[in-house]
Amino acid sequence: MIFKQIIDFIISNNNFILSAHETPDGDAIGSEYAMLKALQKLGKNVKVFNSDPMPGKFSFIDENHEIMTLESEDQLPDNLGDYVLLILDTNDENNIGVVAEYVLPRVKGYFIIDHHESEEDLLVQNLIQKSASSTAEILYLLFKEMGIEIDFKMAQALFMAIVYDTGSFIYPKTTALTFEIARDLVTIGVSPNYIYSKVYESNSISSLLLHSKVLSTLEIVFDNHVAIQTMTKETIIDSGALYEEADQIINFPLRSESIKVSIFFKENLDGLLRCSLRSKGNIDVAEIAQSFGGGGHKTAAGFKCKLSLEETKKLVLEKLSKYF
């Protein structure tokens, strides 16, 4: 049974801290909230900490502000050694920001639940289902296996997470099972229109200005098959937008039939540069991201840039050249 290890982990512990990857997205937030409520139903003591704030468009999921940003060790419980850490939506414990520094070394154990491509040895001690459309899909099946009732708020969080990570049910890992789960969540009471409007139709005017400025940086290479966009911290400041409001920009070039790969270099307000990659067909961008210490899916991946923008761009294009 694929769930035996995680069920044993949950049953044998009482104090949990949940966390997800840096700059948490819809799947991370939705999965955290659903797991929080599931563990509380089992009588567990649970806290949720992320290294970065939740994007505003997902805040409707967490009306009581139970998902917190970890800014100081003072926020952590005094008996942290009695806690375990559940890492959701990333298989890299170094991709959870300050939680890796403040929490991971001090808890008595940790467990990963994820659906991204991973090293094979990670599969032994964790629950990593690479074929799943989202982490939320895995959690839905886990809750069913454990007999945990999925109430409306949990269903809404899971549906939002699945919608986000499947690109509204169009990405390659979307399966018949994904639709079956979505149907059940809608039966519970979730409104697909409401979720879509919250996730995709609630951006600020500033975000439109940000998108416009980033689109103006568009470069197209490899005979019109690869698109490159760049966002600096100055771009964010000039537009008045938030960093997380750029999360959908990378998908725009892929609307062109000719574009097979979209590359997005984005700098946050602290000057940290990241590279996001999206692809169509058989182009494995996860392999490229992993070569830079990152990870993700075959068609959606990313990494932190340790070199300059120009150096990183040159290396990424060299790795892509074999496809063109």
Provide the greatest CA pair distance for the chain. Answer: 58
C-alpha separations of 249 from 229, 253, 263, 309 in Å? 9, 8, 10, 18
Per-position DSSP letters for 259-270, written without gaps between them: --EEEEEEE-TT
Find tokens 């000057």 and name the residue: 271
The residues, any chain, with a CB within 8 Å of residue 164's CB and separated by 6 or more, are 25, 26, 27, 30, 134, 199
CA distance 15 to 312: 42
Q: What DSSP designation does 217 have?
A: T
Residue by residue, pLDDT tens for the chain (324 residues) are: 789 999 999 999 999 999 999 999 999 999 999 999 999 999 999 999 999 999 999 999 999 999 999 999 999 999 999 999 999 999 988 899 999 999 999 999 999 999 987 665 555 679 999 999 999 999 999 999 999 999 999 999 999 999 999 999 999 899 999 999 999 999 999 999 999 999 999 888 999 999 999 999 999 999 999 999 999 999 999 999 999 899 889 999 999 999 999 999 999 998 999 999 999 988 999 999 999 998 888 899 999 999 999 999 999 999 999 999
Contact 263, 318 (CB under 8 A): no
- The CA distances from residue 315 to 20, 141, 279, 321, in Å, are 29, 40, 17, 10
In tens, the pLDDT along 118-167 reads: 665 555 679 999 999 999 999 999 999 999 999 999 999 999 999 999 99
Hey, what CATH topology would domain 4-200 get?
inorganic pyrophosphatase (n-terminal core) (3.90.1640)
Helices 192-200 and 152-165, axial angle in degrees (round to 10): 50
- CATH domain 205-323 topology: Diaminopimelate Epimerase; Chain A, domain 1 (3.10.310)
> Can you give the pLDDT at residue 122?
57
50: helix, coil or strand?
A: strand
Q: How many CB atoms lie within 10 A of CB 218?
A: 13
Distance CA 116, CA 111 (A): 15
pTM for the structure as a whole: 0.89
Whole-angstrom CA distances from 224 to 15, 138, 146, 227, 288 are 53, 37, 50, 8, 20
Total count of residues recorded for the chain: 324
Let me know: does 121 contact 133? Beta carbons within 8 Å. Answer: no
Which pLDDT does position 315 carry in this prediction?
96
Can you give the residue ranges of every domain in the chain?
A: 4-200, 205-323
In our burial notation (b when 16+ CB lie closer than 10 A, e otherwise), range 65-88 reads ebbeebeeeeebeeebeebbbbbb
CA distance 209 to 305: 25
What does the pLDDT read at residue 120? 56
- Neighbouring CB atoms inside 10 A of 219's CB total 11
